[in-house]
Structure 1
Amino acid sequence: MNKHASAEIKAARIQGGVATDQRHDSAHKHVTGTAIYIDDMPEPAGLLHGCLGLSTVAHGTIRDMDLSGVRAAPGVVDVLTGADMPASNDISPTGRHDEPVLAEGKVEFFGQPIFAVIAETREQARRACRLARVVYDEEPFIIDVWDIDRRAGKVVTPPLTLKRGDAAAAIAAAPRRLKGSMRMGGQDHFYLEGHIALAIPGEDKDVTVISSTQHPSEVQHMVAHVLGVPSHAVTVEVRRMGGGFGGKETQGNQFAAIAAVAAKKLGRAVKIRPDRDDDMTATGKRHDFVVDYEVGFDDDGNILGVDYLYAARCGFSSDLSGPVTDRALFHCDNTYYYPAVQAQSAPLYTNTVSNTAFRGFGGPQGMVGCERVIDEVAFAVGKDPLEIRKLNFYGTTDRNVTPYHQKVEDNIVHRIVAELEESSEYARRRREIAAFNASSPVIKRGLALTPLKFGISFTATHFNQAGALVHVYADGSVHLNHGGTEMGQGLYVKVAQVVAEEFQIDIDQVKITATTTGKVPNTSATAASSGSDLNGMAAQAAARAIRDRLRDFAAEKYGVPLEQIEFLPNRVRVGNQEIPFGELTQQAYMARVQLSATGFYKTPKVRWDRDKGEGHPFYYFAYGAACAEVSIDTLTGEYMVERVDILHETGRSLNRAIDLGQIEGGFIQGMGWLTTEELVWDDKGRLRTHAPSTYKIPLASDRPKVFNVTLADWPENHEPTIHRSKAVGEPPFMLAMSVLHALSDAVASVADHRVCPRLDAPATPERVLMAVERLRREAAN
């Protein structure tokens, strides 16, 4: 290479580094249908298909199970029951041994898998499942936690109590106090790609499982546990998922385990892909909650003490209900300081599918409960709820200790809310809406501005770790692998941007490869909004190790000091010359320099003592606020979301385009949870909303007519996260609280805002109409 770089190289700029707007790496494949999901993969020779046989009672003992007709059905190769699991019939993710692969002897919810058919075709397996003859001795069952003693009900995992100060004494001494209860429903994940697993048997004890999972290492460990083999015998691979939202953190274990057992037993590849009805019936959902609350406050609306009980419908087993209900308590404060507080969880056993992780992981339920308390106080003292919110905010130098005794040291909620209040013209619109409602007998409008503070980190401290593997090939191209999974959220492109930034090369030189336990072991779930934080830091560490080796090599080869070596866009300045990156890597390869490295990262500062209810469970907090305006028809309960303004902070965003998409999508998904998505069980314990025909996710027509989303561009993460960015996966979901409270505000207008509507979620048109009628009756009395 000449000492002087060509004009083209000098003019080059890195394409796709950190803090640039890059499209999702698979976006063009998604819209053209060329993105390969598991069911798109070429099928191995001799592939068999599995289908699950589901129970038809909500609770009972299996007296007799005749599967002879199933076994004799056309195309059936084998039928598996719990007794056929080689080493263990348990896939409990918490080690409580309460979740069988296939139920044996006893069933605990309607739709629980009790056997699996393995057949030549998927259609044959599905048809054969219907030929089972099962006789049950039915037992009483519990479906709804509203109907039981929430303080004495059976729990699936030990409850948690958070306590600071004497809440009972503070409430008793308060000038004013009130109590109430709120219900909020669950939510189906409704991913575009349902659960699916493809198991391919290998030699000896080996098996490869291609799984639609957010937690490849857990699938690996569960499959190994069920088969009775070491983890090294099981390789789990995930290139992409068609949505996860938490529903594929633990729920994929069952499908992977059954497919792997069948594959090893029969010596043939096995795929299991349940249809949508079976998927929705047999897999866990967001926990629905009942929140009982009592609050003491003064005449101005200052909260002096509060007592919460968060009772959750957990289902028949523990799954992740312990940490989910814990996180609900961690967010029972949202952005508000309580001088005295007691909060208790009640993770209750019910004869329903075991509920599981869902975007926000209990945090949304915690916040919705506390925002109800804010509304109650506001109506009691006759003030705008926004005034009460601002009055009770955490302070910046004092009034900053949470119920779990962590200090809020990065509080920016005051500025976030002030900027949104101004940009959304909240005060002017509040006056205009009041005038409109006064002259409109049928259509009423409502307005609400709600803030959020969301803790970022796994509360299970050991999950706050990640690994990555980076190869630089001799031609300068880069191979990237890490423990995070891609479910459409843009994690892969963000981490690739981090690696491109370290080497100062164009992002198209970085090859993003499927997540696999064979390359990066002992990974954490891609959850808790930590994917970029953890895997970005791990990949950065690996890239920097290689970059430092290249710098050392160049300094030695060209006889220049290290400070005279600089990585520039697609080239490296060495002394007074510039060398293309690919040329330097070729030279390093010829000189036997190692061009591969692993990286590792563990989140600092986090600690949590659950027994004491104290610690520092979150590395930092993410903040945002949303202002929503709605209109309701008081004769039918129908409503429209007229306008939404969002201001959300992401620190120094790694990719604004991706982050904006996450905020918009998270908000709409949250709006669906709080308005249209309703889970209904009948008197036999059957889930009746188990298909798109009966379960209503938001449509394009449900989106806000005006939808303004802005990233706060002034804050940077005060903690040294990856390029000072902040998590953005889960927090925006909770911005949708503004829609629920805007609906409540519209309902309240029929009684001149004298009565708190106590509008439960989901606020379906039916519930809105019932609330309108109730308030009219109460106002008349």
Structure 2
Amino acid sequence: MKQDNFPSSNDTPSGIKGGVHEDLVHESASKHVTGSADYTDDIAEPVGTLHAYLGLSERAHAKIIDLDLTPCLAMDGVVGVLCADDIPGVNDISPSHLDDEPVFVTDTCEFWGQPLFAVIAETRDQARRAAQCAKILYEDLPVVTDAYAAMEAGYPYVAKPLKLERGDFETGFADAPHRIASQMRIGGQDHMYLEGHIAFALPGEDEDVTLFSSTQHPSEAQHMVARVLGIASHAVTVQVRRMGGGFGGKETQMNIFCCVAAMAAKKYNRPVKLRPDRDDDMAATGKRHDFIVDYDVAFDDDGKILAVAGDFIARCGYSSDLSGPVTDRALFHADNAYFYPHVRLRSHPMKTNTVSNTAFRGFGGPQGVIVAERMIEEIAYKLGKDPLEVRKVNFYGGAGRDLTPYHQTVEDNILDRLVDELAQESDYQERRSAVLAFNKRANETGAIYRKGLSLVPVKFGISFTATWFNQAGSLIHIYADGSIQLNHGGTEMGQGLNTKVAQVVADAFQVDIGRIKITKTATDKVPNTSATAASSGTDLNGMAALDAAEQIKTRLVAFAMEKWGVDADAVVFLPNQVKIGEAHMAFDVFISEAYMARVQLSAAGFYKTPKIHWDREKGQGRPFFYYAYGAAVSEVTIDTLTGEYVVDRTDILHDVGKSLNPALDLGQVEGAFIQGMGWLTTEELWWDDKGQLRTHAPSTYKIPLASDIPRIFNVKLAHWSQNKERSIKRSKAVGEPPFMLGISVLEALSMAVASVADYKQCPRLAAPATPECVLLAVDALQSGAGDAH
């Protein structure tokens, strides 16, 4: 080997700090807890910044007879108002491109809280006060807020329904010894992110406008602003450093705030900020879809399911938004972990006079999974069996029992091992016997407390069901001093995406993670990105970043081969060094040499998920790259006099493949479980008979508190699991799958309620099972009135 001009190095290889599969603190953790993390509202406002505020409808369904904005203009500090007539481009921000979601109403408002206009003023307080001064004359129209009522009233679908069918379900029902048909009501959920919606627009020369926004989908915000302004997308730049939570609520719902801020900024040629208060944020933005599900299940004496039919009726709101794909995914997960020999599932995405519902963690999947679990529960009570026994007999198995309702083969099922391990480690059987004995004594003595215990599994498909969204880009620069700048198309909302992607890059170059700077997501760096959603952020952006890193490494290896006359396999990236032949060189010195030799030290990476395909018309394909699995055991105690309850203990074993960062993944599992528990127990949305959302603030909408966390909370990752597919470092997605584990709490509550009638009947609890709901269910069973759903 030639060593001409070879710089010397006394460094010796050692392990890098912050590589993959390592516990690593979130890259902004210290900033979060000290308050030094910059969010959109923390950006210094340039001199002359204006503030916008939306004027919202106070009718759920009405014709706008007259809209008088002169009182708004007369208020102190008001610069102007914007309404539909001021839109220079297209008055539509529908993410489904169905032209059904106007920025501002033109003639008919369709939900209480729909934006009618915007006031632009010198201060936010002035804009907010002025927005209340408009004089609006309405002609009221019929209001329908319930999905079932909308169907009966002949309201249309907001999206094309889907049907999944396999086998001959009519024959399956005809030949079955047992059959149960019923209905389940599943409530919606507000995202309750810590940071509300906000957009900050800075006008540039020509048509240019730059937006700082709290959005999960910068590219869509970019395209929507361009559409509304009537300009090309290249004139719009959207930047996101971080969000204070999103959970799907900032995937499409940010569009209107970005568009209004951009319109005002360009019209008045001044920076404009738009930030609603929490009440208006909750009233004007979409939520998790409420569902009413009619299900019909046939089964044998062992509890094995023979046939299933289900109609999933969703409250979608006034426009399509993402209701089509959300209701599709509800059907995709209506099997959860179980094989249905004969099945027919149909979606009914109903239009209602409510805010248009949208993406939420799980994206319809939880509403499908919970129905599968309700049917298991029904079977168990009917046959007098342990629900876990019924679950296990229905798990996906080998050939002949491995095909989903959408005709994808389940090739990687690990639930048998995972559930058995959790049951053993949590002492499930012993605790179930103890719960049964406790309830028996309570029935005999008239004690007021009852206990319940439930073990619930989850199988969750990973990928966007819209195939074209399964792509991502990245951009990596290595500077002459060896420092690395990383950018990708994903957005950081507290989940640790940036940390994980940086770990991937650190591992690729074998450098300490401190050498890598993660920059804000920006549409002028990585174009045409997908939303950070569907649990695919790390999968997609991690692979895209790895692609960029490998491109640069290939050039660096070629440079070393040429300069020092070695073969490719003699060039090895070691911790913070590069080994060339028998010599070692510090990474930064090696990079400096490459720069002097005019090696390109920048690369744009790209990745698209392989193997997936989907034919929606046929209802067949492989919409998911792989499945993530998990299971939870929850134990509860209820007070039969008040309906109040506590979660005594929860044990979770969850599959994240070969974890990129176990510490972050554990946090995601814990948080998802608690959020799922909140959806099913305390978070109740309520509209009055006029169509106004009354639970529109933290004072009327109850999310779980620290005091609601299980008294004993054991969370463990299935360390033995490894993704069989070629995902990023054989890891698996973690954002959404554990959300469904909160169903174990609902099922445990159900067991506790059922105990008052000696488990002879499924209580059929509606969700959320608030204390009121639990109390009514106890009273119904004690009085012999049946379920209280």
Rounded to whole Å, the distance in 2 between the matches of 1:146 and 1:430 is 38
Q: Rate the CA distance shift 1:25–1:780 in 2: closer, same or farther, 3 A.
A: closer
Query: 1:384 offset after TM fit, Å?
Result: 1.0
The residue number in structure 2 matching 1:750 is 756
The residue number in structure 1 matching 2:371 is 369
Q: Which amino acid letter does the alignment assign opposite residue 293 of structure 2?
A: V
Q: Secondary structure at the match of 1:188?
A: coil
- Where in structure 2 are the equivalents of 1:285-304 lying within 5 Å? 285-304=287-306
- Where in structure 2 are the equivalents of 1:140-219 lying within 5 Å? 140-149=142-151, 153-219=155-221
| Identity fraction in percent | 64
The residue number in structure 1 matching 2:430 is 428
CA contact (8 A) 1:3 1:578 kept: no
Q: Deviations over 1:234-290 (max 9, x none)?
A: 000000000000000000000000000000000000000000000000000000100
CA contact (8 A) 2:7 2:589 kept: no
Rounded to whole Å, the distance in 2 between the matches of 1:672 and 1:780 is 26
Residue from 84, 87, 109 that aligns with 2:86 = 84
The residue number in structure 1 matching 2:580 is 574
Q: Which amino acid letter does the alignment assign opposite residue 756 of structure 2?
A: V
Q: Is residue 545 of structure 2 the alignment partner of residue 539 of structure 1?
A: yes
Residue from 687, 691, 694 that aligns with 1:685 = 691
- Where in structure 2 are the equivalents of 1:411-560 lying within 5 Å? 411-440=413-442, 441-560=447-566
CA contact (8 A) 2:763 2:786 kept: no
Query: 1:96 offset after TM fit, Å?
Result: 0.2
Residue from 707, 715, 724 that aligns with 1:701 = 707
Q: Secondary structure at the match of 1:708?
A: strand
The residue number in structure 2 matching 1:279 is 281
Q: Rate the CA distance shift 1:673–1:16 in 2: closer, same or farther, 3 A.
A: same
Q: Rate the CA distance shift 1:574–1:143 in 2: closer, same or farther, 3 A.
A: same
Residue from 611, 623, 631 that aligns with 1:605 = 611
Q: Is residue 416 of structure 2 the alignment partner of residue 410 of structure 1?
A: no
Rounded to whole Å, the distance in 1 between the matches of 2:190 and 2:433 is 38
CA contact (8 A) 1:151 1:346 kept: no
Rounded to whole Å, the distance in 1 between the matches of 2:665 and 2:474 is 23
Q: Deviations over 1:707-738 (max 9, x none)?
A: 00010011110000110000001001011010
Rounded to whole Å, the distance in 1 between the matches of 2:541 and 2:786 is 59
CA contact (8 A) 2:186 2:367 kept: yes
Q: Which runs of 5+ in 2 are unaligned?
A: none
Q: Deviations over 1:482-509 (max 9, x none)?
A: 0000000000000000000000000010
The residue number in structure 1 matching 2:65 is 63
Rounded to whole Å, the distance in 2 between the matches of 1:495 and 1:459 is 23
Q: Deviations over 1:377-411 (max 9, x none)?
A: 11111111111111111103330000000000001
Q: Which amino acid letter does the alignment assign opposite residue 575 of structure 2?
A: P
The residue number in structure 2 matching 1:594 is 600
CA contact (8 A) 1:755 1:779 kept: no
The residue number in structure 2 matching 1:13 is 15
Q: Secondary structure at the match of 2:630?
A: strand
Q: Secondary structure at the match of 2:451?
A: strand
CA contact (8 A) 2:780 2:786 kept: no
Rounded to whole Å, the distance in 2 between the matches of 1:608 and 1:282 is 33
Q: Rate the CA distance shift 1:42–1:578 in 2: closer, same or farther, 3 A.
A: same
Query: 1:150 offset after TM fit, Å?
Result: 6.3
Q: Rate the CA distance shift 1:151–1:506 in 2: closer, same or farther, 3 A.
A: farther
Q: Is residue 595 of structure 2 the alignment partner of residue 624 of structure 1?
A: no
CA contact (8 A) 2:475 2:603 kept: yes
Rounded to whole Å, the distance in 2 between the matches of 1:3 and 1:595 is 20
Residue from 728, 731, 740 that aligns with 1:725 = 731
CA contact (8 A) 2:151 2:350 kept: no
CA contact (8 A) 1:500 1:506 kept: yes
Q: Which amino acid letter does the alignment assign opposite residue 548 of structure 2?
A: A
The residue number in structure 2 matching 1:241 is 243
Q: Deviations over 1:291-341 (max 9, x none)?
A: 101111112211110100001000000000000000000000000000000
Residue from 638, 641, 652 that aligns with 2:644 = 638
Rounded to whole Å, the distance in 1 between the matches of 2:643 and 2:184 is 20
Query: 1:12 offset after TM fit, Å?
Result: 3.2
Residue from 731, 744, 759 that aligns with 2:765 = 759
Rounded to whole Å, the distance in 1 between the matches of 2:312 and 2:153 is 10
Query: 1:27 offset after TM fit, Å?
Result: 0.4
CA contact (8 A) 1:168 1:307 kept: no
Rounded to whole Å, the distance in 2 between the matches of 1:589 and 1:4 is 17
The residue number in structure 2 matching 1:93 is 95
Residue from 739, 755, 758 that aligns with 2:745 = 739
Rounded to whole Å, the distance in 1 between the matches of 2:236 and 2:766 is 46
Rounded to whole Å, the distance in 1 between the matches of 2:438 and 2:8 is 71
The residue number in structure 1 matching 2:401 is 399
Q: Give the alignment's TM-score, normalised by structure 1.
A: 0.99
Q: Which amino acid letter does the alignment assign opposite residue 682 of structure 1?
A: D
Rounded to whole Å, the distance in 1 between the matches of 2:557 and 2:786 is 80
Q: Secondary structure at the match of 2:481?
A: coil
Rounded to whole Å, the distance in 1 between the matches of 2:592 and 2:13 is 22
CA contact (8 A) 1:3 1:576 kept: no
Q: Secondary structure at the match of 2:273?
A: strand
Q: Rate the CA distance shift 1:289–1:151 in 2: closer, same or farther, 3 A.
A: farther
Residue from 390, 393, 403 that aligns with 2:392 = 390
Q: Deviations over 1:317-368 (max 9, x none)?
A: 0000000000000000000000000000000000000000000000000001
Q: Rate the CA distance shift 1:606–1:686 in 2: closer, same or farther, 3 A.
A: same
Residue from 130, 135, 143 that aligns with 2:132 = 130
Query: 1:168 offset after TM fit, Å?
Result: 2.1
Q: Secondary structure at the match of 1:10?
A: coil
CA contact (8 A) 2:472 2:541 kept: yes
Q: Which amino acid letter does the alignment assign opposite residue 481 of structure 1?
A: N
Query: 1:11 offset after TM fit, Å?
Result: 5.1
Rounded to whole Å, the distance in 1 between the matches of 2:239 and 2:9 is 42
Query: 1:151 offset after TM fit, Å?
Result: 11
Q: Secondary structure at the match of 1:673?
A: helix
CA contact (8 A) 1:83 1:89 kept: no
Q: Is residue 30 of structure 2 the alignment partner of residue 28 of structure 1?
A: yes
Q: Which amino acid letter does the alignment assign opposite residue 376 of structure 1?
A: E
Query: 1:233 offset after TM fit, Å?
Result: 0.2
Query: 1:690 offset after TM fit, Å?
Result: 0.4
Q: Rate the CA distance shift 1:432–1:359 in 2: closer, same or farther, 3 A.
A: same
Query: 1:466 offset after TM fit, Å?
Result: 0.3
Q: Secondary structure at the match of 2:746?
A: helix
Rounded to whole Å, the distance in 1 between the matches of 2:295 and 2:737 is 24
Q: Deviations over 1:217-242 (max 9, x none)?
A: 00000000000110000000000000
Q: Is residue 712 of structure 2 the alignment partner of residue 710 of structure 1?
A: no
Q: Which runs of 5+ in 1 are unaligned?
A: none
Query: 1:5 offset after TM fit, Å?
Result: 3.9
Rounded to whole Å, the distance in 2 between the matches of 1:170 and 1:381 is 19
The residue number in structure 2 matching 1:657 is 663
Q: Secondary structure at the match of 2:784?
A: helix
Q: Secondary structure at the match of 1:376?
A: helix
CA contact (8 A) 2:452 2:750 kept: yes
CA contact (8 A) 2:13 2:575 kept: no
